[in-house]
Amino acid sequence: MFLTVTLNAALDLTYRVRRLEPHASHRIREVTERPGGKGLNVARVLAALGHGATVTGFVGGGTGEELRGHLAGEPGVRDALVPVSGTTRRTVGVVDETTGDTTQFNEPGPHVSPAEWTAFLGAYRELLREDVRAVALCGSLPPGVPVGAYAALVREARAAGVPALLDTSGEPLRRGLAARPELIKPNAQELADITGTTDPLRAARGAQRRGARSVAASLGADGMLLVTPDGLWHADPVERLAGNPTGAGDSAVAALLSGLAEGLAWRDMLARAVALSAATVRAPAAGEFDADTYARLLPLVRISEPEEPDVPA
């Protein structure tokens, strides 16, 4: 099975309006409610690809009960969330159907006490002892969780012999690199923030020197850059699709995680990530993808091999 960690899980609400206008009242045309947070989205995509996934992280309060109720109806996804006394956050995405743009509102999440963090660590260690092929560590940290939390979780995975993919940002990412994750998946800005360079290739090499074995950098509409000990590749999605981009990066994580565990060639893993990410834009909510779009785009993804930068980051 795969394990995904979402320390700051959420109940995702997606509203669709004809046109989003400041200072105006809006009639919502469609509402979608789903379990959310990066790792939960990753797990649902993995399940849709035919892989069993266990989700863990924190959950609490009435919103947490709603989240777990929705999660119980997700085939292929096992709930191993750890209760806390606070209330799970909500995120609201408003989709403007005229432009295809999405405006996102994210609550901060519940405060996690030291005792609750210790309880989670124990539960996480137990899960790693199961037949875990790889673990994805995803998203922001809720208040109260140590900033070095992901570094600790990467070290636990390494001790258990489980490959870890880290998808976070800022100081949690910077500290997580020192624990030597197998793969990280930042976007271009997140990579620039931790390395000080805006050139994605130089920044990826800089992240490797800081501890990441491999780096998959999302470049938005320009595809994805993959830098590994075996080489480097850039993937172009060929088509630029209109729709809701929320969760596209999480689908890329699911593709990379499954490819890592399956032993796919790097080029094939990258093509899967880019096609699946693009297909997610055509789905109504995060954690889903349009299967027909994915099947059509996968053989069309263009892979190239960029030249190495002259000056290291």
The catalytic residues are 250
CA 260, CA 269: separation in Å to the nearest integer? 8
Query: 132-155 as b/e, with b when 16 or more CB fall inside 10 Å?
Result: bbbbbbbbbbbebbeebbbbbbbb
Q: By the 8 A CB rule, do 303 and 234 touch? A: yes
Count each helix (H run) and each strand (E run) in the chain, helices first.
10, 15
Please enumerate in sequence order all residues whose Cβ is within 8 A of that of 299, keeping only pairs 6 or more positions apart, or say none.
Answer: none
| Alpha-carbon separation of residue 266 from 228, 235, 247, 303 (angstroms) | 8, 11, 22, 11
CA 190, CA 196: separation in Å to the nearest integer? 10
Tokens of 227: 């830098």
